[in-house]
Structure 1
Amino acid sequence: MAGGGFVSNSAPLRHYEGGMTVFVLVSCIVAATGGLIFGYDIGISGGVTSMAPFLKKFFPSVFRKAATAKGNDYCKFDSQILTAFTSSLYIAGLVSALSASSVTRAFGRKVSMVTGGLSFLIGSALNGAAVNVAMLIIGRIMLGFGVGFANQAVPIYLSEMAPPKWRGGLNTGFQLFIGIGVLTANLINYGTAKIDGWGWRLSLGLAAVPAVIMTLGSLTLPDTPNSLIERGQLDKAKAMLQRIRGTPNVEAELEDLVEASATSKMVDQPFRNILKRQYRPQFVMALLIPFFQQLTGINVIAFYAPVLFKTIGFKSDAALMSAVILGVVNLVSIVISIFFVDKYGRRFLFLQGGIQMVICQIIISAILGVKLGTSGNGGLPKGYADFMVVAICLYAAGFGWSWGPLSWLVPSEIFPLEIRSAGQSINVAVNLITTFIFSQVFLSMLCHFKYGIFLFYAGWVVIMTLFVYFFVPETKNVGMEEMTRVWAEHWFWRRWAPPHQPKTADINIDVEMVNGKHHDQKQGTPQQTFQ
């Protein structure tokens, strides 16, 4: 099917018994708090870089330029040193996300989450106590290591713990806590901006709170059955699967998990194997979905929301309050996504959100073009400024229930176990390197593109929406270890994907194979059959 790429109805999906349990819900909520550290950083950095005492202490040239510039308002904050403060985190996150793959695979998902929380805690202390730019940047690097580990491990954990029917909603919890982090940071910035001289220290130092929540929460989490099987702990995996599904009848799902683990044990170099022809669809998604997410323009607007609002004529307090409003809208839209992602599917939200973002970006560009032109002088009249905030909020809402949560959900659920950690690391790495590039150049682009910067992003949203329509299949209600059928039955990707082999009802699990060994059954290989 050229337009849809949905799973066909040629064969029924494999049925897993059990459903949502309180244990799974609580575990996923605790794990999803890992999104707090990423969200807090996204929200806090833009507000801090708009505070005069912070600029005066660390970036005096930018402070003088912003205070006295009589030229083009679009260019007041154009400083590569200032943007390096924000974007340095993402280079560190890129490095740590790639290294986190081996940690996640060898020691489990929760170890990576604890590591990320501790690193973020150290970074928050350094930033809050910073006395020079070097200390600021080192702190940002430690924050970046924390974000890289958390973003690599948390989505995988959520997708592996959740029953297929509720996987979308539970995985979206990660984006929900990112939104909570952003909103919390915006509210803190609004309050600390009123503290003369040292309010920025409080904003940066309070990053320790989400770091502690994530670290302590991760220590209480159980390992996923997938991770336990991957490390050869089959009995514990079965017991955990029974507990999280709320039923003793977990044989069908357990068989799929064990088979996937046995396959993964044969893969010594997952980063090399993900380049193989059979994984071409997943590899392309790992590259393009996070790349496109950043080309929506949302993160650079979230980073620099107060700066952006000041650029278009808002005063300092009004700019920070507008960023708070933006955070509330984003949070509400993520909650909407939680309730609809498993009902209407991933593709519907992707397409609807894309169309909404394009319309809003065109409106924003038109307002700036008509009222500010290319000079950017004078600011917007109040009515136009208010309408601009509404348009940006609608744009943020479209992102919040589409490309925001789905860019983490879809990649985390499509990879087979043997390349899952490597695939998620690539997904996070592409996200962070693209975030780094666009956060580094955004203020310069704003200076040179003027109002056209929103048309630039609108063009990319058109491209990515068409990409979803033609090439992204529907994955709702599909078991993670049954995901090969999605690619085998897609009109385009089936030329690379291996044919899907339907499972039989017979459950015969080779324990030695789980441990990475394979013996001939006729020679008396010890086997364990779960009845």
Structure 2
Amino acid sequence: MAGGGFSAGPGGREFEAKITPIVIISCIMAATGGLMFGYDVGVSGGVTSMSPFLKKFFPVVYRRTQEQGINSNYCKYDNQGLQLFTSSLYLAGLTATFAASYTTRKFGRKPSMLIAGIFFIVGTILNAAAQDLAMLIIGRISLGCGVGFANQAVPLFLSEIAPTRIRGGLNILFQLNVTLGILFANLVNYGTNKITGGWGWRVSLGLAGFPAGLLTLGALFVVETPNSLVERGLLEQGKSVLKRIRGTENVEPEFLELVEASRIAKEVKHPFRNLLKRRNRPQLIIAVALQVNN
């Protein structure tokens, strides 16, 4: 067992909890979802500037980049097909979030992470082996679906599996891995752009399979969160998992608080309608403004 201590609950109560290996491993594996998201976001910009990639899929854009009279990058890369390649991931991610929300709530965090990993693997294979634009776009849509499921399940999984006193530190692993993924993507693009033979872009897109594989394997071996099990009425399993991840038999106070929190959550009717009520408008406006600012 790793270091022990007490974990403060939502009501300020102290719960006994140890930082167990299963918590650390679970959080590291789950946070690879952020690495995958960041890599997919970062890799597209570098790949779309590679001449062999443009020549194969966007010859019109390639010809513009070779013309000396066009100095504006906006004019060079103004192409609907190219815009569809970059935006399809985000559009698919937005759409998949609704299905991911239902899956995460109804079946648990673990299945949603597994689905995300499968989508990532399929998308990576299609992109790396793409022979035409349609195959490329379908691959990006698959990656976007993976992003939707991963972004829904992974942060929730991290916050629920971690002891409260280190929850912020472990939960930030997702955001940290997003930025690391973007960094790795740019470094990879820098290297693959120097590969002769015109297949460097395939390496860039194909290397996304590494974090995708880690996320899929992690989803197979991590435990489901006690919160999810309690929400679905699996109380005994929830208590058993709570004992494993906290490294102690003394979990009754925390378990009872999870049961009570689940009961209160189930009493909330029409949550989306409640968001539009006057008392919730300031929080809603701030949340929307933060996304627009980003």
TM range (shorter): 0.7 to 0.9
Give the equivalent residue in structure 2 for 1:67: 66
Q: Tell me the amino acid that sits aligned with residue 130 of structure 2.
A: A
Whole-Å separation in 2 of the counterparts to 1:254 and 1:143:
37
The aligned counterpart of 1:186 is: 186
Q: 1:117 to 1:79 in 2, by over 3 A?
A: same
| Equivalent in the alignment of 1:35 | 34
Q: Which amino acid aligns with 2:37?
A: F
| Cα distance per residue 1:107-152 (max 9 Å; x no partner) | 1001001001101111111111222222211111111001100011
Residues matched between the structures, number: 282
Who is 1:44 aligned against? 43
The residue identity in structure 1 corresponding to 2:258 is L
Q: Note the C-alpha offset of 1:272.
A: 4.0
Structure 2 unmatched ranges of 5 or more? 1-10
User: Structure 1-normalised TM-score?
Assistant: 0.50
In the TM superposition, 1:66-215 aligns within 5 A as 66-81=65-80, 82-195=82-195, 196-215=197-216
8 A contact 1:34–1:150 mirrored in 2: yes
Pairs within 5 Å for 1:266-415: 266-267=267-268, 269-275=270-276, 283-284=284-285, 286-292=287-293, 294=294
Give per-residue Cα distances to partners, 1:72-105, cap 9 Å, x unaligned. Answer: 3453544142232111110000000111111000
Q: Does 1:225 align with 2:231?
A: no
User: Which one has a bigger Cα radius of gyration?
Assistant: 1
Deviation at 1:257, TM superposition (A): 1.1
SS in 2 for 1:79: coil
Return the alpha-carbon distance in structure 2 between the equivalents of residues 199 and 126 of structure 1.
Answer: 16
How far does residue 16 in structure 1 lie from its aligned partner after superposition? 2.5
Structure 1 unaligned regions, length at least 5: 1-11, 295-531
User: Structure 1 residues 116, 235: closer, same or farther in 2, change over 3 A?
Assistant: same
Q: Superposition RMSD on alpha carbons, in Å?
A: 2.2
Q: Label 1:99 to 1:61 Cα distance change in 2 as closer, same or farther (>3 A).
A: same
Distance 2:288 2:72 in 1: 36
Alignment of 1:465-476 (within 5 A): none
Q: Contact 1:267/1:273 (CA < 8 Å) preserved in 2?
A: no
Rounded Cα–Cα distance in structure 2 between residues aligned with 1:36 and 1:275: 34
1:224–1:277 distance in 2 versus 1, CA, 3 Å: farther
Q: Which structure 2 residues correspond to residues 416-427 of structure 1 after superposition, within 5 A?
A: none
Alignment-derived partner of residue 237 in structure 2: 236
CA contact (8 A) 1:160 1:224 kept: yes
Sequence identity, in percent? 57
In the alignment, the residues of structure 2 paired with residue 242 and residue 233 of structure 1 have an alpha-carbon distance, to the nearest angstrom, of: 15
Contact kept, 8 Å, 2:61 with 2:79, in 1: the verdict is: no
What secondary structure, in the 3-state scheme, does the structure 2 residue paired with 1:131 have?
coil
CA distance in 2, matches of 1:241, 1:13: 19
Q: Which residue number corresponds to residue 25 of structure 2? A: 26
The one-letter amino acid of 2:44's match is: S
Contact 2:193 2:200 in 1 (8 A): yes
Q: Which amino acid aligns with 2:201?
A: W
- Residue identity matched to 2:46: G
Match of 2:5 in 1: none
Matches of 2:194 and 2:229, distance apart in 1: 50
Which string of whole-angstrom CA distances, capped at 9 and with x for unpartnered residues, describes residues 236-282 of structure 1? 21222222223333233222211111123334654445445665566
Q: TM-score, normalised by structure 2?
A: 0.88
Structure 1 pair 290/242, CA: closer, same or farther in 2 (3 Å)? farther
| Offset from partner CA, 1:23-51 (integer Å, 9 cap, x none) | 21111111111112101101211110110
* SS at 1:18 equivalent: strand
| Change in 2 beyond 3 A, CA 1:232/1:279 | farther
Structure 1 residues 37 and 156: alpha-carbon distance in aligned structure 2, compared to 1, 3 A threshold: same
**Cα pair distance change 1:285/1:28, threshold 3 Å:** farther
| Partner of residue 6, structure 2 | none
CA distance in 2 between counterparts of 1:280 and 1:237 reads 35
Q: CA deviation at 1:215?
A: 0.7
Would the aligned equivalents of 2:43 and 2:205 in 1 still touch at CA under 8 Å?
yes
Instruction: Note the C-alpha offset of 1:200.
Output: 1.1
The 1:274/1:114 distance shift into structure 2, 3 A limit, reads farther
